[in-house]
Amino acid sequence: MNLKAVSMDTPSSSPQSHKRNPGFDLDMDWVDRVRMNRSALERRAGTIGARRSVKKNYQAAWLLKAITLIDLTTLNSDDTPGRVRRLCAKARQPVRSDILYALGAQELDIKPGAVCVYHNFVSTAVEALADSDIPVAAVSTAFPHGLTPLEIRLQEIEASVKAGAREIDIVIERGLVLEGNWQGLYEQTKAMRAACGDAHMKTILGTGELATQTNVAKASLVCMLAGADFIKTSTGKEKVNANLQTSLSMIRMIRWFHDETGIEVGYKPAGGISKAKDALTYLALIKEELGMNWLQPHLFRFGASSLLTDIERQLEHQVTGRYAADYRQPLV
């Protein structure tokens, strides 16, 4: 089988032509107009993945695409330099060469979108990924709660960038959203964007703690106006992480923002996405709501630590007809 023969739509833009979000003035009239209908979101979410499926070579092609959109992540309290180096080795070769060869995909450049670690391990990851062109992303700003003084959070961003992180995943103060302090959220996010410099900023909203879908949508808009390159659902540490209803709220704000400004902002669902079938559902959601152009690493990522393992199992099943045990595809 040869996955090169499987037709997929060609994106209309590339990372080279992508214009980074410069940020805009806070438009409170726009923020005040934002409303989300929870019931409508739930009905729409229920149709994603239910009306279509991809099989065989097409499924394998989409799963390989999904690998290129993963932020391969380790954010555990027992992380060590050795664990991070093993994760980076996995990032260099995310799928066994024999499986790629059997799929006819051995010449494809299959690698994850980034490796995401705590600040303490940025230099370790940068060294382990040298010459691979896989960026290192650092979680920053007092991850996961975001409740240290702003000056300290900005210093942490600057330290991660100095250590070699090319992407910074920051967290907002959820209390600013719950209090409706949109000016405060805007100013803090804008300051963090400035501290990132050339590093791209993914803004984690902590959506499971924002109470309503309208709050999620307004927070999405304010962060995009402040210059966020990506908006991201969760830290993965909340009780409620990524889900389809919240994803719809966020990506519809991305679409509205693009319609009004011409700027493409990325989206990253994170937390609880561990199965290949879930990845396919999210890919279908993005394709239908934003278009194929968004299914590129500079505009869409999965925040995941175990998703790759299940994707590998599905790919091996495609080749052999058998499901392998998880330990045959260890991450670290």
CB atoms within 10 A of CB 133: 8
Give the chain's largest Cα–Cα span.
57
One of 202, 268, 278, 310 is an active-site residue; which one?
A: 268
Look up 232 and say whether it is catalytic. yes
Which residues, 6 or more positions from 210, have their beta carbon under 8 angstroms from its beta carbon? 174, 177, 178, 216, 219
- For residue 79, the number of C-alpha atoms closer than 13 Å in the C-beta half-sphere is 20
One of 71, 169, 229, 278 is an active-site residue; which one?
A: 169
Q: Which of 268, 212, 266, 278 is nearest to 235 (CA)?
A: 268
Q: Which of 242, 315, 306, 300 is nearest to 274 (CA)?
A: 306
One of 190, 202, 218, 232 is an active-site residue; which one?
A: 232
Question: Which residue carries 């100013």 as its tokens?
Answer: 187
Which residues, 6 or more positions from 32, have their beta carbon under 8 angstroms from its beta carbon? none
Residue 274 near residue 304 (C-beta atoms within 8 A): yes
Could you list the active site residues? 169, 232, 268
